[in-house]
Structure 1
């Protein structure tokens, strides 16, 4: 079992920010670039829907194809009819509800084909929401400021990789960011992203 601090992380604010950002995406922005070179905005939206569904299954210990598929195996996408605009907030609500149950944070589970303690998985979920929220905000020109507590939890998870095992980081080599930079910039740098990234004009 994980400790109480980890078990009680609330994914609600981060998920709500992602849903709000998605609502602000204009149809003409779907083909635009993102900080993830292999993903356009439409692919990033598809990835957010897919990861929310997969981590919902992970929280429920409903292990199967959604939890066993390694990241990057397929390029996600969204439909052109706009049903994703309903699907994304719905799947985010399901994710939050699942991880509000203390049982979701207990025992072992699987995500991205990796078996790991459920408590660690919950922090990974939060990090995915926070970082991909930044990706979406930057890609579509929207303001973004996660909760300080969310950033602190993400930084605590990411910093040991950069300090002790940078070559093993699942996010690629960290980008050097000044120690006195805003916490959001430091978190983004630890994921191998340039905090100053902007889409080409």
Structure 2
């Protein structure tokens, strides 16, 4: 077991710091605007909350009107759900793939952390990632990177990484992100 609260709390703070005039901004997720990314965050937070309870998901599929309140509330519920030891037992699924519940929590922390970074850079907010979260994301990559082709990661082609990349930047690169992305490079 590990605590998802630091990642959910940071993402909630990023949601709170997102302005209405930023909703159309591009993000490192090339097909998504900030509004699309926020809708995805709400959706996966709902799914991972119900996964912890081994219940069928019923996530929102669009950005809800009260997103500033709804997303942080759902993120709090996600952290609370995974604080229950029973959440870590048995099997559940993510993206239609059945897996051990503990692996599902690993997917959740990767989604929280990477999409937190996506939101931060798309909205010009500060983002800090701790060694614990980096280790969880690296474990996610090691667990789910089954692609045998060189230069690919669990989600496709590896992104560029600076020569002086730290562990977080290397993880972002392995996940197909450009760790130096900013709205000017979009």
TM-score, length of structure 2 as denominator length: 0.90
Q: 4+ residue runs of structure 1 moved beyond 6 angstroms?
A: none
Match of 1:113 among 96, 100, 122: 96
Query: Structure 1, unaligned stretches of length 5 or more?
Result: 1-7, 67-73
User: Do 2:160 and 2:177's aligned partners in 1 also have CA atoms closer than 8 Å?
Assistant: no
Structure 2 CA distance for aligned equivalents of residues 152 and 78 of structure 1: 31
Indicate the residue corresponding to 1:128 in structure 2.
111
Q: Secondary structure at the match of 1:199?
A: coil
User: Do 2:158 and 2:173's aligned partners in 1 also have CA atoms closer than 8 Å?
Assistant: yes
Q: Structure 1 residue 63: deviation in Å?
A: 2.5
Structure 2 CA distance for aligned equivalents of residues 13 and 160 of structure 1: 22
2:167 is the alignment partner of 1:183: yes
Structure 2 CA distance for aligned equivalents of residues 192 and 62 of structure 1: 31
What RMSD in Å do the two structures reach over aligned CA positions?
Answer: 2.3
User: Do 1:63 and 1:109's aligned partners in 2 also have CA atoms closer than 8 Å?
Assistant: no
Q: Structure 1 residue 77: deviation in Å?
A: 3.3
Q: How does 1:63-102 map to 2 (within 5 A)?
A: 63-64=56-57, 66=59, 76-79=61-64, 81=65, 83-102=66-85
What is the CA deviation profile of residues 14-33 of structure 1, one whole-angstrom value per residue up to 9, with x for unaligned ones? 00000000100111000010
Query: Structure 2, unaligned stretches of length 5 or more?
Result: none
